[in-house]
A = this chain, B = another copy of it.
């Protein structure tokens, strides 16, 4: 009987799911495991600059990967603990991460040896216990017989729930043999079917509400993307012709060039015409909602209707009635079969708000502003772009830009960890390389946030991610925090860096750097056809005034300070 090592089995399972890049750092409890990656054609070990960045990179990769999955390998204690922030972020934002940790051998654990990378108290389960708080499920593998099943169970849960899973793998098990035939049965990724009676009731009630609605709309949020319902959403828009809106986290869930797209709804921070269109609707079909403060303008939703149908990954809610287990993917597919006939034949598709996407003319020497940048950039985006925005002025600014067809938007609106996007860009760029080398990956990050995770640009240089555009918004410190509290406070200042020296320092092979400070310079850059072709790593430093910010951020900051001070 043909056999393979357990280590190879793990990576073969990833390979079957098109997870072909593995993120992380080597460490003495995972070295033998890493050898196995190189046995599989088409797989690669990213070798990140540090673990937190590796975690962010995995999160970015998963958001681009066709199965919404990514894998991480780290080492016991010192490696894995540096991942907690990234893993909690993936948990919070529903991203499927397979987080494998190389742990000491079973015998070292049994003897409670006072090994390095431990707390010195013989407790080998403490880090696993910590990760249970931020993982969908975990496995701390202790013997070879249960290992393949445990690995499969964790990978399946990462996919189904789109959340991180934790696997602790002792170093002595990775070279043990198991039957190769275990690979023949692919991991079952099918969702549990919805209960037919519950689903029937959901469809019937929803269609009744649709048939009675005068001003129905569709509102799409993050979980529609994570749980891979973009196709169903597109078909729903096509079938109903209802106006469609997204939340900030739901941006890129729908084709924004579709004439039925009305804009981004953020409660009281929305554009007035968007706010009016959403809040005056008499029926809202909500798909994949994740109603956090930054996603809702600090909970300032003000629907006038009580007719809301919420489709979630694990339940459906219609007005006040909850239907546990009625999952959105299957429910939407069922609804699509009959929804057309439910619409009142006299329904005339309502006009949708139109956004002005052209800047007022300004002399070329006019200093750049956030307002100008976020409007202008819409015209430079191309079909298929991956657009990544850091928490701060970028994540708020991007809300007012328009995304092209088939784009992917990445922003950590709920978890909001500063520095996330440099890592995420590395992961997204490596995923894009696997899908289409012509796909562009475009990062917008502030000069303050860049400092937290800057060394991941080195990993992009190593892998020649010539598909990346790194726009560094230099506004001299933490502008988002200056808006919340402490405009002039020293704690919101940063040490200024010569950012354009980064790519040569990291030994980038093909690269280009630019600095733009005026309207004219930005217009020239975006008019330059060579610049638009993704054939080198590019960094553009965008000089902006310290207190300049998108208007929705200014309003959000005021709401945030109030919440923080409330007793």
* A interface residues with partner B (beta carbon < 8 Å): 25-29, 31-32, 34-35, 37-38, 45, 47, 49-52, 77-78, 81-82, 84-85, 88-89, 91-93, 104-108, 113-120, 126-127, 129-130, 133-134, 171-172, 175, 290-294, 299, 413-419, 451-455, 458-459, 461-462, 478, 481, 484-486, 489-498, 501-502, 504-507, 560-561, 563-567
- In the complex, A484 Cα to B77 Cα: how many Å? 18
6 contacts between A and B (CB under 8 A): A28-B564, A31-B491, A32-B565, A50-B52, A52-B52, A115-B563
A448, B27: Cα distance in complex, Å: 12
Nearest residue, chain B, Cβ from A176:
B567
**Chain B residues near A114 (CB, 8 Å)?**
291-293, 299
A171 to chain B: which residues have CB within 8 Å?
Answer: 564-565
Known A81-B84, A461-B495, A481-B28; contact A566-B290, beta-carbon cutoff 8 A:
no
A415 close to B34 (CB less than 8 A):
no
Q: How far is the CA of A85 from the CA of B83 in the complex (A)?
A: 9
> A113: which of B25, B77, B299, B493 is its contact (CB, 8 Å)?
B299
Interface of A is mostly: loop
A462 to B492, CA, bound (A): 14
Among candidates B28, B82, B299, B478, residue contacting A560 with C-beta atoms closer than 8 Å: B28
**A496 CB contacts on chain B under 8 angstroms:** 507
Question: Which B-chain residue is minimally distant from A459 (CB atoms)?
Answer: B495
Separation of A505 and B564 alpha carbons in the complex (Å) = 36
Other A-B pairs, 12, CB within 8 Å; known A26-B492, A50-B452, A52-B52: A28-B564, A31-B481, A31-B564, A78-B415, A81-B88, A92-B118, A92-B120, A108-B564, A454-B455, A455-B455, A495-B506, A501-B505
Question: A552 vs B297: C-alpha distance in the bound complex, in angstroms?
Answer: 59
CB-nearest residue of chain B relative to A81? Answer: B85
Is B134's CB under 8 angstroms from A133's CB? no
Q: Which residues on B sit within 8 Å (CB–CB) of A507? A: 495-498
